[in-house]
Amino acid sequence: MRPALLLVLGIGFVFSNRAAQGDPEKGRELFRSCSGCHNTGNDERKMGPSLRSLFGKVTLRNGRHADEENVREIVLDGFNGMPSFRYSFRPAEIDDLMAYLHTLKGRPGAPPAATGAGYFQSYCVRCHDPQSRNAAGPDLRGHYSQDWTAIVEDGHAGAPALREWLGENERKQLLEFLKTY
Ligand code: HEC
Ligand code: HEC
Using a 6 Å cutoff on CB, does residue 37 contact ligand 1? yes
**pLDDT tens, position by position, 140-157:** 999 999 999 999 988 888
CA–CA gap between residue 113 and residue 119 (Å, rounded): 7
Bridge partners of 59, per DSSP, are 65
Q: For residue 97, give the ligand 1 atom closest to its CA.
A: 35
**Percentage with pLDDT > 70 across the chain:** 84
In terms of CATH architecture, what is 116-180? Orthogonal Bundle (1.10)
80 CA distance to ligand 1 middle (Å): 8
Using 50, 70 and 90 to split pLDDT, how confident is the model at 110? Answer: low
Sign of the Cα torsion 70, 73, 74, 79 reads negative
Mean pLDDT of 114-135: 88
- Percent of residues in the chain assigned helix, strand, coil, to nearest 5: 45, 5, 50
Mutation probe of ligand 1 site: the residue of 32, 37, 75 with most atoms within 8 A of C-beta: 37
Q: Which residue's alpha carbon is nearest to atom 6 within ligand 1?
A: 34
The three-state secondary structure class of 50 is coil
Most confident segment among 12-21, 57-66, 103-112: 57-66
Q: Which residue's alpha carbon is nearest to atom 37 within ligand 1?
A: 34
For residue 152, the tally of other CB atoms under 10 A from its CB is 22
Using a 6 Å cutoff on CB, does residue 135 contact ligand 1? no
Of 9, 11, 27, 30, nearest in space to 19 by CA: 27
What's residue 147's pLDDT? 94
CA–CA gap between residue 7 and residue 130 (Å, rounded): 44
Q: Where are the domains positioned within the chain?
A: 8-101, 116-180
Amino acid, single-letter form, for residue 117: A
Amino acid, single-letter form, for residue 156: H
Q: Which residue's alpha carbon is nearest to atom 41 within ligand 2?
A: 124
In terms of CATH architecture, what is 8-101? Orthogonal Bundle (1.10)
**pLDDT tens, position by position, 75-103:** 999 999 999 999 999 999 999 999 999 99
Residue 157 · residue 136 · CB < 8 Å: yes
Domains 8-101 and 116-180 agree in fold: yes
CA–CA gap between residue 35 and residue 9 (Å, rounded): 34
Mean pLDDT of 113-118: 84
Bridge partners of 65, per DSSP, are 59
What's residue 41's pLDDT? 86
